[in-house]
Amino acid sequence: MSSPALPAPLHAAWNALPTEEVLPGIARQVVHGARQSVVRYVYAPGAIFPIHAHPEEQVTVVVSGRIAFEIAGADYELGPGEVAVIPANVPHGARVVGDETVETFNALSPRRETGPSAARDGAAR
Residue 33 belongs to a domain: yes
- The reported pLDDT for the residue numbered 115 is 66
Among 32-36, 61-65, 102-106, name the one with the lowest average pLDDT: 32-36
Residue 81 sits in which domain range? 25-112
Kindly report, residue by residue over 108-121, the tens digit of the pLDDT.
Answer: 999 988 766 433 34
Residue 30 belongs to a domain: yes
Residue 97 belongs to a domain: yes
- The reported pLDDT for the residue numbered 120 is 39
Neighbours of 96 (CB within 10 A): 21
Q: How many CA atoms lie within 13 A of 5 on its CB side?
A: 3
Residues 82 and 65: beta-carbon distance below 8 Å? no
Kindly report, residue by residue over 33-54, the tens digit of the pLDDT.
Answer: 999 999 999 999 999 999 999 9
Residue 120 belongs to a domain: no
Residue 14 belongs to a domain: no
pTM for the model stands at 0.86
Residues 6+ apart with CB under 8 A from 111: 32, 33, 34, 35, 36, 37, 56
Residue 66 belongs to a domain: yes
Residue 88 belongs to a domain: yes
Kindly report, residue by residue over 1-21, the tens digit of the pLDDT.
Answer: 677 888 888 888 999 999 999
Residue 77 belongs to a domain: yes
- The reported pLDDT for the residue numbered 116 is 60
Handedness of CA 16, 50, 36, 104 (dihedral sign): positive
Report the CATH number at residue 88.
2.60.120.10
Q: How many distinct structural domains can be found in the chain?
A: 1
- The reported pLDDT for the residue numbered 50 is 97
Number of helical H runs and strand E runs in the chain? 1, 10
